[in-house]
Amino acid sequence: MEASLNSVYDSVIIRFSGELWLKKVWTRKFYERRLSRNLKTALKHFDVPYSGVVRRHGRFYLKTSCAVDAAEKLSRIFGISSISPAVQLSSKFEDVLEKSTFLASKTLQKGNSFAVQCKRVGKHDYTSNDVRKQLGQRVLDMFGEKLGLRVDLGNPDVVLGVEIRDDEAFVYSQTVDGVGGMPLGTQPKLVGLFSGGIDSAVGFWLVMKRGSPVVFVYFDNTPYTDETTTQRALDVAKVLFGWAIGYPKKVYIVQHGENMKQIMETNRKYTCLLCKRMMYRVAERIAEEVHAEGIVTGEAIGEQASQTLTNLRVLDAAALSYPVHRPLLGFDKSETVAIARKIGTYKVSSKTAGGCTAVPYSPSTKAKMEDVLRAEEKLDIDKMVDRSMESIKIVELD
């Protein structure tokens, strides 16, 4: 969509995600209020001026002189199914025909096929069908021949849409897909185990899309990893925070190296499992502090030795009070990568960073619970968790 079209429009139609309609009235109101707050915060953040937002009939109508910019920025707000820059008009039939034809003259391109759609609420001295027929005819009469336009009701290049609401109306001819999902903040927080790799970023995005803000927790395994791994995690976090405007941009960094050292002195084939179990325990303590309702990770069945179903069971047993959510459980890597590309994390997540040198040559894929517990007997788990909690540094990104 060209920014030069900003001068043609004066409004934006924002359509709610379909699922919002399935909610009971008071729940829907809560979701709509949150969505309104999130989108206003985003517009402010991006310096997109607007003079008002009105909620009517499952949509927000935004008044702005920068409709094209607004539509582009709002396409990243969860809870919106689509967005159209629009022109506001009165619902008088002649006004609808005249101003809609003007918009068509600015946006239809040579050789386009088009269809007129009309949605009408209220009492008028014409029908929706009158609008469809007469507007379509007027566009064809005025520049159909010059531009080589044709009507295609089934699969048009351009939909010239008119929404008539009592005594006012809106016309649009361009629509941007929204990201869908539920407004961020309509579900409680989750504590996210964040490695900065491809998977955890996508896992977080998926739960954010369903309305849950994520508290990012990164375990710094120095000296078994180096500062490139930490930097990569912070860079990826920054990209993800772009999907959560108005929410804290904080990363909790836990010093995990000393714990790793002690873990490596036990049964080496369980190093990764003991490492993760410790992460879960610390995540639970953080969840308690920040009032989160669970933990989210980027684990998928069999993606690593520590992620076989047998080993995931061993990991789960370390989380005593909170559920561990794994939004990628059934994803193939290629599916995860496709989402990572779409949300902008792929490039940053795939940057080479120092891998963890504590990973054993031959990790267990079928750990026995009693053997894992025996290995942990050599560790002072409570003390290790306490030390981890004391080591936390909260980095605030801008």
Interface residues toward ligand ATP, by CB under 6 A: 193-195, 197-200, 217-219, 221, 279, 297-299, 303-304, 306-307
- From the list ligand ATP, Mg ion, none, partner contacted by residue 307 (C-beta under 5 to 8 A by kind): ligand ATP
Number of residues lying near Mg ion (CB under 5 A): 2
Minimal distance, residue 298 CB to Mg ion, in Å: 5
Three-state DSSP class for 236? helix
Q: How far apart are the first and last CA of the chain?
A: 29
User: Residue 202, interface with Mg ion (CB under 5 A)?
Assistant: no
Number of helices followed by number of strands (H, E) in the chain: 13, 15
Nearest CB to ligand ATP, comparing residues 35 and 296 = 296
Minimal distance, residue 332 CB to Mg ion, in Å: 12
Residue 235 CB burial class (10 angstroms; 0-12, 13-18, ≥19): middle
Residue closest to ligand ATP, measured at CB? 197
Ramachandran bin of 58, using left for φ above 0, alpha for ψ from -120 to 50, beta for the remaining angles: left
- From the list ligand ATP, Mg ion, none, partner contacted by residue 193 (C-beta under 5 to 8 A by kind): ligand ATP
User: Residue 353, interface with Mg ion (CB under 5 A)?
Assistant: no
- From the list Mg ion, ligand ATP, none, partner contacted by residue 212 (C-beta under 5 to 8 A by kind): none
Minimal distance, residue 374 CB to ligand ATP, in Å: 22
Helices of type H across the chain: 25-45, 67-74, 93-107, 128-147, 198-209, 227-241, 257-264, 271-290, 309-316, 333-343, 346-349, 369-377, 381-391
Nearest CB to ligand ATP, comparing residues 5 and 359 = 359
User: Residue 350, interface with Mg ion (CB under 5 A)?
Assistant: no
Minimal distance, residue 248 CB to ligand ATP, in Å: 18
Minimal distance, residue 280 CB to ligand ATP, in Å: 9
User: Residue 303, interface with Mg ion (CB under 5 A)?
Assistant: yes
Residue pair 12/85 in contact (Cβ under 8 Å)? The answer is yes
Residue pair 87/22 in contact (Cβ under 8 Å)? The answer is no
Site residues for Mg ion per CB under 5 A: 199, 303
